[in-house]
């Protein structure tokens, strides 16, 4: 049996590190995001679904950060939907939020059908790049947050210290790894599952496949202008390679560079 | 010998239907060392779950899930369903030794299990009218 008489988060961190030495060896930090129903209910009470509908793609938009609670059934999707409806004058104003909740339901239903096959390509990739050219492992500079790209390194640092990333950051990071670095999506998916508090083989792997185009009609990628817009320049402003980074150029130029 | 509620990482709500149906029955959560090793969890997720469990009336253990549950010699195990493939695997193993009652988790939307899942758009067309 494990102890329940823990009086502080510091004590919890050292107790758990001793109980789970292998997990602690991978990364012994504890997220500032708290577990538990009380924390979950506070986060649920704070949601603003109508503002969410307008600005959810911006890093400083009104995303809810409910995912670790929903992932572990501390809150249910239905409960989140019902609370969202109490926060708006017209249910239509919560439509975007409810659609995103439905994405989770969709991935879970697929998981029930696919099981461990979520680790395999659902379809052939649409990138035109031969599958064997994708590297099987996570590059060391990426996992160590030393690529020199301020955005990417910041995503890795945030993921490792908090266990959370905004949806758009997850998309950019996944596109960077798979398309700009030509790494197999499975390596990125494993890295995310290891660190995300909401880590879920269905939502995670199938989203990686959506970016990679093994579960979509075309690959997802982005250019610097897009990243700069939705981050309001917070990374580009201080980036030493600004103006000459991998993401510079129009979508047409990048498409020609990345795919065949 | 008595009943035992099995809590797993997909059903940590305080409104768990197993608590509602069996209010007096003890519950056990086992940190699944196989899953932690396979998915290479870091301490963050373990701490998040542990903190959640401290707010629930559950005993906490770690190791092999099926062994730990059966070691309590329950007359019956009650739990909530999950789509995680490990869940089905563990239920099958438990059922060789003991009766298992799997309660349904609260559905997001009451739509038939055979809804077309080829793309999100097909699923959405079907469920959208049921959600608003
Ligand atoms: C590469 C990649 C990996 C991902 N891995 C995971 C994962 O392991 N676990 C996970 O829960 N989500 C994953 N997502 C989906 C999404 O990024 C997160 O659910 C979301 O960012 C969580 O933040 P939030 O709670 O603030 O979301 P909000 O935007 O506030 O959304 C509310 C809730 O809706 C659900 N949701 C929202 N968007 C999505 C989505 N696109 N897919 C599925 N559910 C969604 C989540 O439960 C979320 O908590 C991944 C996305 C990508 C692109």
B36 — pLDDT class (breaks 50, 70, 90): very high
Q: Which CATH class is domain B3-131?
A: alpha beta
Q: Give the integer Cα–Cα distance in Å for A25 and A194.
A: 12
Residue B1 pLDDT greater than 70, yes or no: no
Q: Which has the closest alpha carbon to B36: A11, A27, A70, A73?
A: A27
Integer CA distances (angstroms), A140 to A27, A66, A137, A143, A178, in order: 15, 31, 9, 5, 15
B109 near A CB under 8 A: yes
Q: Phi/psi at A20 (nearest 5 deg)?
A: -125, 70
For residue B8, give the chain A residue with the closest CA. A72
Residue B27 pLDDT greater than 70, yes or no: yes
Task: Compute the average pLDDT of residues A25-32.
Answer: 97
Q: Give the integer Cα–Cα distance in Å for A115 and A108.
A: 10
Q: What is the model's pLDDT at position A189?
A: 98
Q: Using DSSP, state whether B7 is helix, strand or coil.
A: strand
Contact A145, A27 (CB under 8 A): no
Q: Which has the closest alpha carbon to A237: A127, A245, A189?
A: A245
CB of residue A192 inside a 6 A radius of ligand 1:
yes
Domains of chain A and CATH, by start: 9-116 (1.25.40), 131-258 (1.10.579.10)
All structural domains of chain B with their residue ranges:
3-131
Q: Give the integer Cα–Cα distance in Å for A105 and A91.
A: 19
User: pLDDT digits over A72-97, tens only?
Assistant: 999 999 999 999 999 999 999 999 99
Q: Phi/psi at B3 (nearest 5 deg)?
A: -75, 160
Task: Compute the average pLDDT of residues B1-15.
Answer: 93
Task: Compute the average pLDDT of residues A228-257.
Answer: 97
Q: Which has the closest alpha carbon to B6: B79, B108, B96, B68?
A: B79
Task: Compute the average pLDDT of residues A152-175.
Answer: 98
Taking only Cα atoms into account, the Rg of chain A, rounded to an integer number of angstroms, comes to: 19
Q: Give the integer Cα–Cα distance in Å for B72 and A242.
A: 60
Judged by CB atoms closer than 8 Å, whether chains meet at B62 and A99 is answered as no
B14 — pLDDT class (breaks 50, 70, 90): confident
Q: Give the integer Cα–Cα distance in Å for A93 and A220.
A: 28
For ligand 1, pick from A33, A100, A216 the residue to mutate: most ligand atoms within 8 Å of CB: A100
CB of residue A206 inside a 6 A radius of ligand 1:
no
CB of residue A200 inside a 6 A radius of ligand 1:
yes
User: pLDDT digits over B72-94, tens only?
Assistant: 999 999 999 999 999 999 999 99
Q: What is the model's pLDDT at position B111?
A: 87
Q: Give the integer Cα–Cα distance in Å for B46 and B48.
A: 5
User: pLDDT digits over A107-118, tens only?
Assistant: 999 999 999 999
For residue A26, give the chain B residue with the closest CA. B42
Judged by CB atoms closer than 8 Å, whether chains meet at A37 and B50 is answered as no
A206 — pLDDT class (breaks 50, 70, 90): very high
Regarding pTM above 0.95, the answer is: yes
Task: Compute the average pLDDT of residues B90-117.
Answer: 95
Q: What is the model's pLDDT at position B112?
A: 84
């Amino acid at each position: 049996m494990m102890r329940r008489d823990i009086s502080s988060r510091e004590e919890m961190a050292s107790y758990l590190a001793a109980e789970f030495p292998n997990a602690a060896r991978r990364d012994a930090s504890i997220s500032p995001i708290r577990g538990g129903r009380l924390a979950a209910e506070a986060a649920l009470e704070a949601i603003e679904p109508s503002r969410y509908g307008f600005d959810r793609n911006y890093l400083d938009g009104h995303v809810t950060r409910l995912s670790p609670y929903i992932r572990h059934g501390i809150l249910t999707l239905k409960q989140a939907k019902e609370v969202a409806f109490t926060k708006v004058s017209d249910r239509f104003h919560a439509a975007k939020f409810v659609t995103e909740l439905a994405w989770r339901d969709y991935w879970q239903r697929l998981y029930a059908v696919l099981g461990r096959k979520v680790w395999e390509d659902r379809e052939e990739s649409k990138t035109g790049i031969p599958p064997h050219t994708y590297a099987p492992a996570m590059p060391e500079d990426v996992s160590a947050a030393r690529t020199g790209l301020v955005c990417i390194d910041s995503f890795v640092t945030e993921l490792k210290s908090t266990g959370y990333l905004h949806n758009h950051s997850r998309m950019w990071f996944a596109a960077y790894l798979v398309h700009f670095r030509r790494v197999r999506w499975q390596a990125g998916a494993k890295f995310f599952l290891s660190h995300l508090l909401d880590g879920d083989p269905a939502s995670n792997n199938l989203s990686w496949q959506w970016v990679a185009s093994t579960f979509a009609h075309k690959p997802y990628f982005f250019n610097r202008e897009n990243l700069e817009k939705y981050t309001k320049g917070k990374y580009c402003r201080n980036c030493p390679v600004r103006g000459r980074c991998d993401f510079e150029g129009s979508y047409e130029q990048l498409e020609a560079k990345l795919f065949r | 010998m008595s009943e035992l509620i099995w809590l797993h990482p997909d059903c940590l709500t305080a409104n768990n239907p197993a608590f509602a149906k069996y209010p007096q029955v003890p519950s056990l959560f086992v940190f699944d060392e196989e899953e932690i090793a396979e998915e290479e969890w870091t301490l963050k997720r373990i701490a998040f779950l542990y903190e959640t469990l401290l707010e629930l009336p559950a005993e906490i253990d770690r190791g092999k899930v099926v062994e730990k549950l059966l070691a309590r010699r329950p007359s019956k195990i009650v739990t909530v369903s999950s789509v995680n493939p490990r869940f089905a695997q563990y239920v099958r193993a438990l059922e060789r030794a003991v009766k298992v009652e799997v309660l349904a988790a609260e559905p997001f939307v009451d739509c038939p299990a055979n809804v077309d899942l080829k793309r999100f758009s097909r699923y959405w067309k079907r469920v959208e009218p049921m959600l608003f």
